[in-house]
């Protein structure tokens, strides 16, 4: 045998596992930081400790979401439903026409 090469069954992968765990830890910390900065994780803005997400006192560089008005009901999109039904009927008609064309070509 040349050198100290071990057969694949005898190699221990603990060093590789530790490297993978460290990489996973780094990715998790970076993801948590990004999510906190974007306001998706529930962390507050680091620039102003008293500012909460949605407050207007955080400054012009941070866009706050619009306040939610829970007293109004969401309107039913009747126009969207009618348009969807119209599209459905158009598609069905086109499918029937195509079926007729295929039947006529097959004769």
State the DSSP string of 4-52: TPPPGGG---HHHHHHHHHHHHHHHHHHHHHHHHHTSSSPPPSS-TT--
Q: Tell me the chain's radius of gyration from C-alpha atoms.
A: 31
CB 58 within 8 A of CB 48: yes
Report pLDDT digits (tens) over 1-19: 555 666 666 567 788 899 9
pLDDT at 56: 52
pTM beyond cutoff 0.75: no
Report pLDDT digits (tens) over 50-83: 555 555 555 556 666 677 776 776 655 667 777 7
Residue 93: band (very low, low, confident or very high) from pLDDT cuts 50, 70, 90: very high
How far apart (Å, rounded) are the C-alpha atoms in residues 51 and 2?
Answer: 66
């Amino acid at each position: 045998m040349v050198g100290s090469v071990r057969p694949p069954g005898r190699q221990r992968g603990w060093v590789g596992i530790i490297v993978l765990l460290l990489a996973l830890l780094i990715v998790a910390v970076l993801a948590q930081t990004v999510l906190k900065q974007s306001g998706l994780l529930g962390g507050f803005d680091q620039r102003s400790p008293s500012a909460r997400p949605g407050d207007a006192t955080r400054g012009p560089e941070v866009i706050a979401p619009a306040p939610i008005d829970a007293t109004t009901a969401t309107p039913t999109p009747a126009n969207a439903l009618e348009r969807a039904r119209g599209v459905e009927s158009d598609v069905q008609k086109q499918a029937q026409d195509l079926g007729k064309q295929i039947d006529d070509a097959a004769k």
